[in-house]
A and B are shown apart, each in its own frame.
Chain A
Amino acid sequence: MTLSDYLSVLFLLAGAVFFLAGTVGLLRFPDVYTRLHALTKADNVGLGLIVIGLAMQAESYASVGKLLLIWLLVLLAGSSISHLIAKKALQKGVRMWRR
């Protein structure tokens, strides 16, 4: 294993940690807004780290480009949909959680 392999593993593991944290947050957080917050962490940062880790193993620049495109698409879709869900929840009068 070369240095880049070790780095890859590191990034992938870090990404997995974010996904795990995001999932725990999704299950444990008290209301829809905080859950969305947890979810986007997994999507944005977690997936970003995994994309970096995979990009280091990619065989061509084309596949690096594809990986980046996937990340950007998920960012775009994830943020739009989180916005829509939060807006709908506000419209329906879902209260924000207070301690």
Chain B
Amino acid sequence: MEALSLLQWLIDGLIGIGLLWLAWRALFCPELFKAIVLFIAFGLLMTLAWVRLKAPDVALAEVAIGAGLTGALLLSSWAKLRDFDANKGMGVREKNRVQSEQKTKRPFFHWLSATPVLLMAVGLGYGVLQLSPYATGLSTAVAENLDASGVSNPVTAVLLNFRAYDTLLEIAVLLLALIGIWSLEIRPSVREATLDPVLDLLARLLTPLLLLVSAYLLWVGAHASGGAFQAGSVLGAAGVLLILAGWRLPLSLAGLPLRITLVVGLSTFIAVAVLMMLDRGQLLAFPPSQASLIIFVLETTATLSIAAILAALFLGSRPDHSEKI
């Protein structure tokens, strides 16, 4: 027992130090590309930390969204930035670029910023150490009401029943980000995707598998780790892979059909909220007997929308405009 707990301390200590080291390197290593790769590694290590903290649902979300999708977004943005530099034709030298990538404010400013940040770190650390060593939070309240929630995975119960209103607004944030990006009117990247037979084959093989995994995560979310966000991001990853392989949505589907897919999750959520309001006088109050069905409908439509939105975030420009220019 003693040895085991020592081993645990060793593992957790290594993860903690590894996280801090990766974060430090990602933020301060001179090359941006390296920084992004380190950030992705950081996300993967975060996933391990979540597993150690007994939060497998969060680990799944982190690996799919935090490390995977954010990493893909960062890398593709980095590549586009480099393309701008190349297209400007002023021959931005490698050296210049590296200089701009690690440019910081004046050294005086470093000290000016470091002092309050250090003070804050000490204060926060002290504040956390002062917390009582035992606290259960809301776990008993969740456990007592779990039967009435329609699902047996407590995290899903919180996300889609007890605090479903948060989730409604969160899907709104996701949709809003996409609408915001579309209104920036970014030109689609001029570079044609280089069609590669191996990548194409990989996409063909993985897409059905990702579909399957996504459906599994969606289904399993009711009683074990998983749920709409994890399923949606896996499905969205399939979309990203297809985009990378050079596949584009046919124009006939890029207008209203795509838009409907993007909003169906949020719209269903609102519709259910209003129906429950009319029926039971309370927003998003599901009758316990039908709660599991309602949650399943909400999660399925949310998965579709989340996947579509995430893939569209990756594409960046509006698909119904891209072909015209």
Residues of A in contact with B (beta carbons under 8 Å apart): 73, 76-77, 80, 83-84, 87
Let me know if B198 and A84 touch, CB within 8 A.
yes
CB contacts (< 8 Å) of A77 on chain B: these are 202, 206
Report how far A73 CA is from B201 CA in the complex, Å: 13
B196 at the interface (CB under 8 A from A): yes
Interface SS of chain B: helix, strand, loop or mixed? helix
CB contacts (< 8 Å) of A83 on chain B: these are 198
Q: Which of A76, A80, A84 has the most CB of B within 10 A?
A: A80
Partner among A73, A76, A87 whose Cβ is within 8 Å of the Cβ of B196: A87
CB contacts (< 8 Å) of A80 on chain B: these are 198-199, 201-202
Q: What's the nearest-Cβ distance from chain B to residue A82, in Å? A: 10
Q: What's the nearest-Cβ distance from chain A to residue B20, in Å? A: 21
Q: What's the nearest-Cβ distance from chain B to residue A92, in Å? A: 12
Q: A80-B198, A80-B202 are in contact. List 10 more A-B contacts (CB 8 A).
A: A73-B209, A76-B202, A76-B205, A76-B206, A77-B202, A80-B199, A80-B201, A83-B198, A84-B198, A87-B196
- Considering only residues 177-218 of chain B, those with a C-beta below 8 Å from chain A are 196, 198-199, 201-202, 205-206, 209
Which residue on chain A has the smallest CB distance to residue B197?
A83
CB contacts (< 8 Å) of B199 on chain A: these are 80, 84
CB contacts (< 8 Å) of A87 on chain B: these are 196
CB contacts (< 8 Å) of A76 on chain B: these are 202, 205-206
